[in-house]
C-alpha cells in the first residue's frame, strides 16, 4: 500500500482521511518542540498571548536537533518520547494543531483529545535520527534559543516518513497491536 502524501498545513478533511496504521510521508513546514517549549506555549495560551507560530493545521515534532556538522542543515533529528508532552498536548490541539510526531504511547486523555479536536498522532522511528535528518531541507530557530536543544525550530521537510498511531476516530495502533499479539 502506498503511503499517504500529506503537506502542511493540514486541512481537517486530510486529517480525517488518515487511519491508525497508515504510513505517511510529510512535506512542508513542521515545528519542533519538547517539554520546556510546550510548557512555555501553554503558559502563553493561558495568558491569551500570541504564540511564536500559528498552530492551525500545523505539525509539532517532538525532537531536539543535534548540532549540524559543517555543510549539514541539521544533525541527528530523531523523535523523543511523546508521553512527556501529554499534559500539554490537548491545549494545543484545542487551538487547531493538526498533528504531532514522536515515539511511544499516549495517555487516555491525549488519545481522546485527538478525537475531540480532529487531529492525529504520528510516530517516527526511534534510533533513525540520522536517516530522518536527510528529509530536512531547511532548519531555522523560531523561539526560545535559551532552551538549547529544546528550542522551537521551523523545519522544511520532504517525504518525512511516519506512521499514524492515533487517528481522529479514537483508534490506537499500539493498543490494536497489543490485542492482536497477546498470548
Hey, which residues are catalytic here? 38
Q: Cα(168)–Cα(45) distance, rounded to whole angstroms?
A: 23
Which residues share a beta bridge with 141?
153
3-state secondary structure of 43: helix
Output helix, strand, coil percentages for the chain, rounded to the nearest 5: 30, 30, 40
**With the C-alpha atoms ordered 89, 123, 7, 19, is the resulting torsion angle positive or negative?**
negative
Q: Print the SS3 string covering 70-119.
A: CCCCCCCCCCCEHHHHCCCHHHHHHCCECEEEEECCCCHHHHHHHHHCCC
Q: Are strands 23-32 and 136-143 parallel, antiparallel or unpaired?
A: unpaired
Amino acid at each position: 500500500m502506498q503511503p499517504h502524501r500529506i503537506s502542511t498545513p493540514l486541512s481537517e478533511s486530510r486529517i480525517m482521511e488518515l487511519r491508525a496504521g497508515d504510513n505517511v510521508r510529510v512535506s512542508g513546514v513542521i515545528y519542533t518542540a519538547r517539554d520546556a517549549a510546550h510548557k512555555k506555549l501553554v503558559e502563553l495560551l493561558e495568558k491569551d498571548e500570541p504564540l511564536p507560530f500559528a498552530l492551525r493545521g500545523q505539525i509539532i515534532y517532538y525532537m531536539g536537533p543535534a548540532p549540524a556538522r559543517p555543510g549539514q542543515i541539521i544533525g541527528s533529528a530523531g523523535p523523543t518520547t511523546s508521553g512527556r508532552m501529554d499534559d500539554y498536548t490537548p491545549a494545543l490541539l484545542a487551538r487547531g494543531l493538526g498533528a504531532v510526531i514522536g515515539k511511544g504511547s499516549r495517555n487516555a486523555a491525549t488519545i481522546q483529545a485527538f478525537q475531540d479536536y480532529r487531529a492525529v498522532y504520528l510516530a517516527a522511528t526511534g534510533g533513525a535520527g540520522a536517516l530522518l535528518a536527510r528529509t530536512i531541507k531547511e532548519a531555522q530557530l523560531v523561539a526560545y534559543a535559551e532552551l538549547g536543544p529544546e528550542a522551537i525550530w521551523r523545519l522544511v521537510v520532504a517525504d518525512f516518513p511516519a506512521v499514524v498511531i492515533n487517528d481522529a476516530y479514537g483508534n490506537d495502533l499500539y493498543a490494536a497491536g497489543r490485542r492482536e499479539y497477546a498470548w
